[in-house]
Structure 1
Amino acid sequence: MAAAREIKAREVVEPGDDDAVELAKRHLVQPWPYAGSVGAEARALIGEGEGIYITDASGKRLIDGPAGMWCINVGHRREELARVMYDQAMALSYNTPWYTMNAPSAELARRIADAAPGDLSHTFFTTGGSSAVETALRFMQFYNNVRGRPEKKLIISRGGAYHGSTYLSASLNGRPRDRHWMDGADELVIKLSSPDPFRRPKEMSIDAFTDFLVDQFRDTVARVGAGRIGAFVGEPVQASGGVVVPPDGYLKRIREICRENEILYVSDEVVTGFGRLGHVFASGDVFGLDPDMITFAKGVTSGYFPLGGVIISERLLEELRRSNHPDALFGHGLTYTSHPIGCAVALKNLDLLEEGVLQHAREIAPYFQARLKTLEELPLVGEVRGAGLMACVECVADRESKDPLQLDKDVGKRIDAHCHELGLLVRPLINMCVMSPPLIISREQIDDMVAILREGISRTMDDLRKEGVWRG
């Protein structure tokens, strides 16, 4: 059986690896390219995956440290998901969501409502995380228009945030390099400080830092006016910002201010949802939140099919139904909204999560965090932080100043290159390395991952010393 699966996997890798590299350079535009190489770039070619592993074009087997892009939660080559994909395509491959519907989407919406906190009861399905956040924001605008508050449209986001690549969702992003050369709806967005305890002022305690963040939010609402602010959008854990885990109690206090001022609280769980923190949704089970909306994607299908969505509070929908504008049209939809194949895959994926993967993730997360924390013994490492099965190793020139290695912005890439050679794929983010492996990872595999990462960082320290850019 395994041999047959291997043959089938290899049959789909066409044309040959060398041809794929050349074709990419000539015809493929990669995501997030630099102007100097746009449309003329090939990246590391991956041929196949199995469990927590992927294989590159040279045949090297690698631990998939980022789980694709935070999403291969139940692991690669799950025959159950492939079979459902095939069966649903043979039954119904597509239906227009404008005036028809399909059964898998209705059942998935029910299962999601059962798992969601508070009164979150209805789901609008999208194609991914960016379109999920975009939908939540457009719904906020529609909601306030129908309720006679057309001026209540501003959106509060934070430094370090990442919410997507569509025009409005990308406007919320709080990483400066994402926006240097890109336009955005800046007139609609207010950015607050990142809730990153590692980067707080040296003399400030965690409690004082939390108070600062909450006061900044409250003062902003008072200064701008609650009547002009429509939504706060925040990741429970800032993922692409470097796995920033906020101080205890911070998010609940922000939620209370939102409730007091009729500001919709949108919890962006594109990364943290569907098991990354051991639960279907982290907002309620981990952080004690009852948001007005939750956005999700990635892990909902474990990356096997593009699907996302936004879960909306029953209260908001009831208010719209009771309004004086019953003919007001929410003019928003996507060709692939409620895609039957995506929803069928998500249902089976949810089965796998609930039948043991979530429990395993909760049980193994403390070991994962503890083993990675040992990397703080290395002088290049300023902090290892994380939650559940997501973590970040942040490198600094020295721990006193926490200088993020301005002399060498490719430290993360250097570490990734060494780790690739040793058998591990890392997600490099300038001076950081992010790890978010498939949730099925074992203790032994965690040990392997940490050992390779330790050696990759050690080799990078040697390189930096030899080049004279870091003394250590």
Structure 2
Amino acid sequence: MAAQSKIKASELIGPDDDDAVELAKRHLVQPWPYAGSVGNEARALIGEGDGIYITDGSGKRLIDGPAGMWCINVGHRREELAKVMYDQAMALSYNTPWYTMNAPSAELARRIADAAPGDLSHTFFTTGGSSAVETALRFMQFYNNVRGRPEKKLILSRGGAYHGSTYLSASLNGRPRDRDWMDGADDLVVKLSSPDPFRRPKEMSIAAFTDFLVEQFRDTVARVGAERIGAFVGEPVQASGGVVVPPDGYLKRIREICRENDILYVSDEVVTGFGRLGHVFASRDVFGIDPDMITFAKGVTSGYFPLGGVIISERLLEELRRSNHPDALFGHGLTYTSHPIGCAVALKNLDLLEGGVLAHAREIAPYFQAQLKTLEELPLVGEVRGVGLMACVECVADRESKDPLQLDKDVGKRIDAHCHELGLLVRPLINMCVMSPPLIITKEQVDDMVAILREGISRTMDDLRKEGVWRG
């Protein structure tokens, strides 16, 4: 790894930590706020990052368990990426994508085509994951309009899914509480069951559960009508839904049903792409599927610059070029589509990934999963599941009933608070803790992370017992 430049947050332009907290409370609207605190909230202040570590506003050094938001794949403070940002900004900071182009975006599109499965050969660049999914869905609508099938627009999604925060992408979401107070394009979306083996009926085998999911999908297509369904959108692993890894063979069987019924299969790899599962893309290399489109973001720049995109099958583009409507306009674009700085950073990030980070991720993933699995010894833990360098610790009040702690919906936050004190940042999701550290993590650092998480869960169990809300 290149030598790291030790720049401190205090040396940068901006307010000091105390002022930043007060300014946030007075002027900053945080994402996903509650009405009772919206516009009057300050969250944990992070000042610096280095490798797999971050430093909070009090100076405490923490393992960055979520890697930012699944995205700091090559680690914090990579001088190579910082230098590329500077060099590209000094050469060309921006160009309008409406009637000009830049070289980094063309080269990045080629590199992505080389890594993508099947005939996915062309990329439309966006600003992040939500806009990538939105673009894929708008392309599906355009594609069917041009082909004379304006009724083929419905989208199949699943319980537990998370696909974004734009209006159309958010309409696909199926996590608890995401849509309780928010509107969506419900007339365009058909929801299916979550492919979560942990939540299957008690007496149902994994094989029977897989058959149930597949038959539900097939029955839904027959009931709704394949002539009305334009796309299925699915994460290979439901990330923000709690790292739900589908049963073996499930995705392949869903892919076949989509192919049989001319339904576009959109694989949402915003989280699983660019190394999280040890490969640039996981669709084929991990799950054996060749989608019609793949959406990506997050790890494509390791979080150093906002960038996302959708990779589109050559077959779909060729069908459009052969249509009877050569003047039909795909009226979709973003001011920062194909941003030269973002694309330059992504190219260097790919060099780092393919230069050893991917191989390291594949090598350490089994150890990461095995060490986290030991946490199932704790009575509060119902299941530890995951694949690659993403995992979830799901806590339950009772292993027999798998009650997700309805008496206390802040179990994840309780564990996170204890872990923060001990030197680890986790991502709390109601009764779950999600872990997805930078891909450069070592075995010794995995041991540290798991030891802190074990202690944080143990302290939470003591708290719940003392408060009389849990008797485990």
TM-score normalised by length of structure 2: 0.99
| 1:55-102 Cα shifts (integer Å, max 9, x gaps) | 001000000000000000000000000000000000000000000000
Quick check: 1-10 or 163-172, which moved more? 1-10
- Shift in CA distance, 239/13, structure 1 to aligned 2, threshold 3 Å: farther
Quick check: 429-438 or 2-11, which moved more? 2-11
8 Å contact kept, 1:48–1:56: yes
Query: SS state of the match for residue 4, structure 2?
Result: helix
| 1:401-423 Cα shifts (integer Å, max 9, x gaps) | 00000000000000000000000
| 1:151-171 Cα shifts (integer Å, max 9, x gaps) | 000000000000000000000
C-alpha separation in 1, matches of 2:205 and 2:5:
55
8 Å contact kept, 2:65–2:437: yes
C-alpha separation in 2, matches of 1:5 and 1:401:
51
Q: CA deviation at 1:5?
A: 2.9
C-alpha separation in 2, matches of 1:4 and 1:349:
16
8 Å contact kept, 2:2–2:80: no
8 Å contact kept, 2:361–2:388: yes
Q: CA deviation at 1:2?
A: 11
Query: SS state of the match for residue 469, structure 2?
Result: coil
1:94 matched to 2:91? The reply is: no
- Shift in CA distance, 382/340, structure 1 to aligned 2, threshold 3 Å: same
C-alpha separation in 2, matches of 1:215 and 1:12:
57
C-alpha separation in 2, matches of 1:11 and 1:165:
34
8 Å contact kept, 1:159–1:193: yes
Q: CA deviation at 1:7?
A: 4.0
Q: CA deviation at 1:14?
A: 2.1
Match of 1:179 in 2: 179
Match of 1:342 in 2: 342
C-alpha separation in 1, matches of 2:13 and 2:362:
36
Query: SS state of the match for residue 294, structure 1?
Result: strand
C-alpha separation in 1, matches of 2:60 and 2:108:
38
- Shift in CA distance, 135/444, structure 1 to aligned 2, threshold 3 Å: same
C-alpha separation in 2, matches of 1:239 and 1:430:
14
C-alpha separation in 1, matches of 2:2 and 2:245:
40
Which runs of 5 or more structure 2 residues have no equivalent in the other structure? none
- Shift in CA distance, 453/8, structure 1 to aligned 2, threshold 3 Å: closer
8 Å contact kept, 1:13–1:47: no
Q: CA deviation at 1:10?
A: 3.2
For 1:64-463, list aligned pairs within 5 A.
64-463=64-463
C-alpha separation in 2, matches of 1:76 and 1:441:
12
| 1:124-157 Cα shifts (integer Å, max 9, x gaps) | 0000000000000000000000000000000000
8 Å contact kept, 2:5–2:79: no
Q: CA deviation at 1:6?
A: 2.6
C-alpha separation in 2, matches of 1:409 and 1:234:
27
Q: CA deviation at 1:266?
A: 0.1
Q: CA deviation at 1:4?
A: 9.0
8 Å contact kept, 1:268–1:295: yes
8 Å contact kept, 1:242–1:434: yes
- What number of residue pairs does the alignment pair up? 472
8 Å contact kept, 2:4–2:77: no
- Shift in CA distance, 242/444, structure 1 to aligned 2, threshold 3 Å: same
8 Å contact kept, 1:294–1:310: yes
| 1:170-210 Cα shifts (integer Å, max 9, x gaps) | 00000130000000000000000000000000000000000
Q: CA deviation at 1:397?
A: 0.2
Match of 2:36 in 1: 36
8 Å contact kept, 2:4–2:78: no
C-alpha separation in 1, matches of 2:444 and 2:10:
28
| 1:321-367 Cα shifts (integer Å, max 9, x gaps) | 00000000000000000000000000000000000000000000000
8 Å contact kept, 2:10–2:16: no
8 Å contact kept, 1:266–1:294: yes
Q: CA deviation at 1:12?
A: 1.4
8 Å contact kept, 1:236–1:245: yes
8 Å contact kept, 2:4–2:79: no
Identity of aligned residues (%): 94
TM-score normalised by length of structure 1: 0.99
C-alpha separation in 1, matches of 2:11 and 2:351:
29
- Shift in CA distance, 214/296, structure 1 to aligned 2, threshold 3 Å: same
C-alpha separation in 2, matches of 1:306 and 1:337:
10
C-alpha separation in 1, matches of 2:180 and 2:253:
32
C-alpha separation in 1, matches of 2:192 and 2:204:
18
C-alpha separation in 2, matches of 1:307 and 1:382:
36
C-alpha separation in 2, matches of 1:44 and 1:410:
17
Quick check: 4-13 or 200-209, which moved more? 4-13
Cα RMSD of the aligned pairs, angstroms, is 1.2
8 Å contact kept, 2:62–2:424: yes
Query: SS state of the match for residue 179, structure 1?
Result: coil
Q: CA deviation at 1:11?
A: 1.1
- Shift in CA distance, 81/464, structure 1 to aligned 2, threshold 3 Å: same
8 Å contact kept, 1:154–1:229: yes
Query: SS state of the match for residue 191, structure 1?
Result: strand
Q: CA deviation at 1:8?
A: 5.2
Which runs of 5 or more structure 1 residues have no equivalent in the other structure? none
C-alpha separation in 1, matches of 2:353 and 2:376:
32
8 Å contact kept, 2:120–2:311: yes
